[in-house]
């Protein structure tokens, strides 16, 4: 399965992934929201910054996924702290994800910079930061 993932441009997530400083990405919500349970080892993630340009710039392979059980605010904070070396979250990001009831921690490998390309989001109604596309070529412009 292939996924399109928006990264936090202000936090420099793309740059940190490409430089090898960051090896894990996070998503979370009060409920079991995408990508909870929908991303698996061997899947491919295509990354673009949430800067309005809409350009896919990198790809990576998923090697591990942790879908949390329901968490207390304290347990979610501990999970973030335990994985901070891989996540490289800014203070603002820590505040965003801390206290979420469900967290998904995704470890990536084989991160590659790509020649930038755009995707067609018209088949996706919501403006989410995670799109499960199946095959990137079906949305590539």
pLDDT tens-place string over residues 80-139: 999 999 999 999 999 999 999 999 999 999 999 999 999 988 887 666 789 999 999 999
Strands (E) across 1-141 are located at 2-7, 24-29, 44-49, 55-67, 102-118, 130-132
Q: What is the pLDDT of residues 23-60, one digit of tens each?
A: 999 999 998 888 999 999 999 999 999 988 889 999 99
Q: What is the pLDDT of residues 52-73, one digit of tens each?
A: 888 999 999 999 999 999 999 9
CA dist., res. 7 & res. 4, Å (int): 10
Among 22, 69, 65, 12, which Cα is nearest to 40's?
A: 65
Residue 100 DSSP label: -
Kindly report the pTM of this predicted structure.
Answer: 0.94
Query: Percent of the chain at pLDDT above 70?
Result: 98
Residue 48 near residue 57 (C-beta atoms within 8 A)? yes
Could you give phi then psi for residue 97, rounded to 5 degrees? -90, -25
CA dist., res. 43 & res. 133, Å (int): 11
């Amino acid at each position: 399965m292939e996924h399109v993932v928006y990264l936090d441009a202000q936090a420099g997530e793309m740059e940190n992934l490409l430089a090898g400083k960051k090896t894990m990405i996070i998503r979370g919500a009060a409920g079991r929201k995408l990508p909870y349970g929908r991303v698996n080892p061997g899947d491919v993630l295509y990354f673009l910054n949430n800067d309005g340009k809409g350009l896919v710039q990198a790809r990576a392979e998923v090697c591990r996924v942790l879908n949390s059980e329901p968490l207390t605010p304290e347990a979610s904070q501990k999970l973030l702290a335990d994985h901070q070396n891989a996540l490289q979250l800014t203070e603002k990001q820590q505040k965003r994800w801390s206290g979420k009831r469900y967290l998904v921690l995704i470890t990536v490998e084989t991160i590659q910079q790509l020649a930038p390309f755009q995707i067609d989001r018209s088949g996706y109604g919501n403006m989410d930061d995670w799109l499960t596309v199946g095959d990137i070529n079906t949305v590539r412009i």
